[in-house]
Amino acid sequence: EMFVTLGKHMEADLDLIVPMLIKKSAETNGFIADEANRALMAMAASVSEGRVICALAACASHRNPQARAKAAIHLSRALESMGWRRVLQMKELDKVVQAFGALNSEGLSETRSATRHGLVSLIRESRGQCADVQERLERLLRRQLSEKDRRKLMDAVDASTAGTFPAALEDTSESPMTRRSSLRPSCASRHGTSAGTHRSHG
């Protein structure tokens, strides 16, 4: 209720509040976890987008693997609500890719699934954008991911269907490569995507 009532006035305390909520959301007590998850969703809807990203991305290094899983899930959901196209234009994109890069090799499948959903959605959306946007994302991906992991994500993008949440991206190396989209459309042609280009609707 505090996030709904106070909104952006809560931003100064996010660095303290969000890690605590992430930890509580990973507890085995269902009531406590549910309340923490609701508070995190209210936070994501009530404060500025940049602060949401920074607060959740910082939890990618939490000591508790269950808490890191919740951080990945809430970050991916928050970004999807913002819209993947918008996220690609934000200055916080580097924090997003850095957090997802750290979470991509986690042991828990729910962490990897949420992380790879976020990365696949960003890559897929970038394919309809101009070269500058694609190049920025590609630089960040190369910095945070191994070539093997990056190739698996590209294959998953090619195999995915627009608008769907990949149920399991853990075995992306087995995904059939259906098509490799052109990686460098010009800015002038960003609105003229082909019928075969997969797009996320955010």
Q: If you count them, how many residues does the chain have?
A: 202
Say what the pLDDT of residue 11 is. 64
Mean pLDDT across the chain = 80
CA pair distance 160, 134, nearest whole angstrom: 19
CB-CB neighbours of 18 under 10 Å: 25
The residue written with tokens 């949420």 in the block is: 114
CA pair distance 201, 83, nearest whole angstrom: 7
pLDDT at 105 over 50: yes
Say what the pLDDT of residue 28 is. 87
Closest CA to 158 of 178, 185, 184, 187: 178
Closest CA to 116 of 67, 161, 78, 150: 150
Q: Are 186 and 130 in contact (CB under 8 A)?
A: yes
Alpha helices in the chain (DSSP H): 2-6, 14-25, 30-46, 49-58, 65-82, 84-89, 93-103, 109-126, 131-144, 147-159
pLDDT at 195 over 70: no
Domains in the chain (CATH in brackets) are 2-158 (1.25.10.10)
What is residue 104's DSSP assignment?
T
pLDDT at 196 over 80: no
Taking only the tens place, the pLDDT of each residue in 49-98 is 999 999 999 999 999 999 999 999 999 999 999 999 999 999 999 999 99
Say what the pLDDT of residue 84 is. 97
- Residue 163 token pair: 């608008």
Say what the pLDDT of residue 120 is. 95
Helix (H, G, I), strand (E, B) or coil at 48: coil
Rg (CA), the chain: 17
Of 11-15, 87-91, 127-131, 139-143, least confident by mean pLDDT is 11-15
Of 4-8, 28-32, 115-119, least confident by mean pLDDT is 4-8
Average pLDDT over every residue of 174-183: 34
Say what the pLDDT of residue 29 is. 87
* Burial class for 49, CB neighbours closer than 10 Å (0-12, 13-18, 19+): middle
Closest CA to 28 of 70, 74, 72: 70
CA pair distance 141, 144, nearest whole angstrom: 5
Say what the pLDDT of residue 1 is. 53
Helix (H, G, I), strand (E, B) or coil at 118: helix
The residue written with tokens 């996030």 in the block is: 3
- Supply the pTM of this predicted model: 0.74
At 8, the pLDDT band (50, 70, 90 cuts) reads low
Say what the pLDDT of residue 46 is. 83
pLDDT at 4 over 60: no
